Structure 1
């Protein structure tokens, strides 16, 4: 009867695998090391990925000026936006050239030159009347922002909405005025 307990139903003796002291220490130390590594790595990954997971707020509009103050002549308006850059929050000042097109529709152009990022001004050089002009490398643009010289692309345009008699500006988009 003693032999019946040590055999499987197939008749082979049961062999028990016992863990050696060395295997036990290897598994224990390996598991502890993996647990500690995960404990250090997971917070670092969360720290790196957290800003990406948060909503950027790019769809928000900022009230800039009363619509009644906008004419066909481009005017520069400065406004502040709340910016979150990773873990740093700040208020930054932006500028826009706001005007009406030939159809009386309000639009706003970014003053950032598409050549090397300098700031353009309206009607600032007598050689280029009624144009946006960049003093850095003499790039110039039409009233709609179309590039005429030096710059490789038209001035960008702000997303715009008019609500309750005020002009609100959103994010910067590729210029739509040039194609119209």
Structure 2
């Protein structure tokens, strides 16, 4: 059998070279864009960060107490601290932490400030009321319960995670 020598012409060589270099440059330009698009999806499945609220499990009672705590936020290159609040109490054997933000219009709810209903959360903006466990009372403006924090107890100290919306 005879083997033909396969010679590459100058035109084919330049075509192959320019295609390779162009592909390499396109991949270099597209890689950061693909990474930026996929980054939120990769982080969404990550565990949420829990923050200590400086309160031990022994300091809790069945009476809700308001606790202010600081969360560090990373926004691109900017890092800041934000103060948040929660109503923390013991609900049977579990520790419960409720958001103090009314689900009606975003006012701040307080525990036991309504003279007619002292054992409820009360929103003074539109007279919204919530049960002790955060469920909204029918016939009042809020249409859903107070949001609840993820709670974790480590070494007797209470840590709060992200806020979850309840229906």
Task: Give the TM-score, by structure 1 length.
Answer: 0.67
Aligned residue number for residue 32 of structure 1: 21
- The structural deviation recorded for 1:76 is 0.8
Contact 2:53–2:68 (CA under 8 A) maintained in structure 1: no
Matched, 1:160 2:151: yes
Matched, 1:41 2:30: yes
| 1:64 aligned counterpart, secondary structure | strand
Q: Give the Cα separation in 2 of the matches to 1:163 and 1:73.
A: 22
Q: How many residues align?
A: 163
Aligned residue number for residue 171 of structure 1: 162
Contact 1:67–1:166 (CA under 8 A) maintained in structure 2: yes
The gaps in structure 2 that reach 5 residues or longer are: none
Residues 139-165 of structure 1: CA deviation (Å, up to 9, x unaligned): 321111011222232112223244554
Aligned residue number for residue 104 of structure 2: 115
Larger Rg: 1
- The structural deviation recorded for 1:50 is 4.4
Aligned residue number for residue 78 of structure 1: 68
Task: Give the TM-score, by structure 2 length.
Answer: 0.71
Q: Give the Cα separation in 2 of the matches to 1:68 and 1:17.
A: 84
The gaps in structure 1 that reach 5 residues or longer are: 1-7, 176-180
Contact 1:62–1:81 (CA under 8 A) maintained in structure 2: no
After TM superposition, the structure 1 = structure 2 runs for residues 99-138 of structure 1, keeping only pairs within 5 Å, are 99-101=89-91, 103=92, 105-126=94-115, 128-138=117-127
